[in-house]
Structures are given as C-alpha cells and as structure tokens.
C-alpha cells in the first residue's frame, strides 16, 4: 500500500513538472510576441524586407490552406474510419489499418518530400496551395480515420442491433444512428489533426509556400504564405530588425493552436462525461 502511494506521488510530481515546463514555454512565447500585436500587425502586408507591416497574407493563407485540407481529409477520413469499423473483417481492411498506423509515425518532412515528388513534380501542380493541401491531408487522414474507427467501435453493439431489428438497412444505421452518435469524437479528431497540420512547416515549405508575398493566392495553383513558414523564413534569412515579426507570428500561432486543442479537449471531456 505504501509503495503504491509513493508511486502515485512520483507520477503526480512528474506530471506537475511537465505541466509547469509546458506552461512556462507557452507563456514565454506568447508574452514575448503579444507586445507586437496591433491592428496593423494583423491587417497589413509585409513590407521593407519583413521589417515593417504585418502578417495578413500569412494568416489568410494558413486558413485557406486549412479549409482546403479539411475539405479533402474529413470526408476521406470519416469514410475510411466507417469502412474499418463496420466492414473491417477482411484482408483489405486489415492492410488499410496497418497502413494508417504506419502513416501516423512518419516524420512530417517525409510527407513533404513525397508531396514534392508526387504532387508538385509528377502531377505537375508545382509549388501551389493544392499540392500543400493534399500533402497535409495525407498527414491528417490517419488521425481522423483511426479516431472515427475507435469512436464507432465504442458505440454499444445493442444500438446497431436495435436499429437493424426495426428494419433499418446497414447504411441507414451508419449514417442516421452511428455517425450522429459519434459526432463529438469525430469533431475532436478533426480538431487535433487540424491543429497539427496548422503548425507544420516542412510539408508546406516543400510543396506550397512562397517566401514573400504582397498579394493573396489567386487560385488553387498559386503558392501561399503560412504562419509557420513565415516564422521559418524570417528566422533563417533575416537579421535582428525582422525578428520582432517572427516573435509576434509565433505568439499568434501558439494562441490559435492552443484554442484548437482546447476545443478538442473540451469536446473530449463532454463526450466522456456523457458516456459516464
């Protein structure tokens, strides 16, 4: 009994230390960049070699890219998760499941290299928003598909049997009963995948990012500025006179990602509370 209390105490202390470190890093980054926040910082285009102006094209470019990524990855992820959960007793489903597990562990730069070779070169999309969105969709697909599968499998089998006993077809059970019941878990997975994709640099850097833009993308085959690549370019290629913009951009990006993950955590807590 005493040993269990000691182990519990050690784990509690470790968790508090980790939380304190993460909180310190978050507060340090946000406090260091929030002082540069102003209407012009969010609404102006960069100018004078990134030493003046704002990050408006990077903000809008990031949200354009995320919207396009969601448009591609959400339907594919949900349908893949449904297939694995409801039709998964075959060799094809098992191979898909194994492939999703493998894709979850691949570094983001590998996705970027694949997107560069396949979407940009082989399909001749060039450096474009559509190439970057397709690459990010491949990254978020395993998260959405696996979470959809697990959420659907967690629904009691009695609900399926009751709907089938009432005369519903399997497709009706899936789309009218199971998916509405699993919506919070699916939305949580979408938010987690979106938060990861929003903060990625390497895949966008290799497939769709433009270094310095004073205009918005004109179409799917135009390059795009994003918040993470904007930070990378400034810190890698510019001097001290432009670092204030990198700090402000990093603080804004941290806040956005924290809000996305906070929403996902809130939905997960509500789902667990409902299930209990």
Span 79-128, pLDDT tens digits: 998 888 888 777 888 888 888 888 888 888 899 999 999 999 999 998 99
Q: Is the pLDDT of residue 151 over 80?
A: yes
Q: Is the pLDDT of residue 219 over 90?
A: no
Q: At what angle do helices 227-237 and 243-275 cross, to 10 degrees?
A: 150
**pLDDT over 90, % of the chain:** 22
Q: Is the pLDDT of residue 214 over 80?
A: no
| Mean pLDDT within 143-161 | 86
Q: Are 191 and 270 in contact (CB under 8 A)?
A: no
- What is the CATH number that goes with domain 39-275? 1.10.3720.10
In sign, the C-alpha dihedral spanning 59, 61, 67, 73 is: negative
Q: Is the pLDDT of residue 274 over 70?
A: no
How confident is the model at residue 1, as a pLDDT? Answer: 57
Residues 40-64 as b/e (b if ≥16 CB within 10 A, e otherwise) read ebeeebbeeebbebbbbbbbebbeb
How confident is the model at residue 137, as a pLDDT? Answer: 92
* Domain limits, the chain: 39-275
Question: Radius of gyration over alpha carbons of the chain, in Å?
Answer: 22
Q: Is the pLDDT of residue 2 over 80?
A: no
Confidence of residue 183 (pLDDT cuts 50, 70, 90): confident
In the chain, alpha helices (H): 2-34, 39-43, 56-86, 91-104, 108-115, 129-153, 157-165, 170-173, 179-181, 183-198, 202-207, 227-237, 243-275
């Amino acid at each position: 009994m005493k040993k269990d209390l000691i182990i519990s105490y050690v784990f509690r202390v470790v968790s508090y230390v980790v939380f304190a470190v993460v909180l310190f890093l978050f507060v340090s980054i946000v406090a260091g960049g929030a002082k540069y926040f102003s209407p012009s910082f969010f609404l102006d285009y960069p100018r004078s070699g990134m030493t003046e102006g704002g990050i408006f094209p990077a903000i809008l470019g990031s949200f354009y890219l995320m919207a396009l990524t969601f448009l591609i990855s959400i339907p594919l992820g949900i349908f893949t998760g449904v297939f694995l959960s409801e039709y998964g007793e075959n060799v094809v489903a098992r191979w898909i499941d194994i492939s999703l597990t493998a894709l979850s562990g691949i570094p983001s730069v590998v996705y970027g290299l694949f997107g560069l070779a396949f979407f940009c070169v082989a399909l001749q999309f060039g450096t474009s928003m559509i190439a970057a969105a397709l690459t990010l969709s491949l990254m978020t697909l395993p998260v959405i598909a696996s979470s959809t599968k697990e959420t659907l499998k967690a629904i009691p089998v009695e609900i399926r049997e009751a709907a089938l006993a009432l005369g519903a077809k399997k497709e009706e059970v899936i789309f009218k009963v199971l998916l509405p019941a699993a919506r919070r878990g699916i939305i949580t997975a979408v938010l987690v995948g979106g938060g990861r994709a929003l903060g990625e640099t390497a895949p966008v850097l290799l497939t769709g990012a433009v270094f310095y833009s004073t205009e918005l993308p004109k179409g799917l085959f135009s390059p795009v500025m994003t918040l993470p690549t904007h930070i990378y370019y400034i810190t890698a290629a510019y001097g001290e006179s432009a670092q204030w913009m990198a700090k402000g951009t990093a603080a804004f990006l941290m806040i956005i990602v924290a809000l996305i993950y906070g929403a996902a955590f809130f939905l997960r807590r509500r789902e667990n509370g409902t299930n209990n």
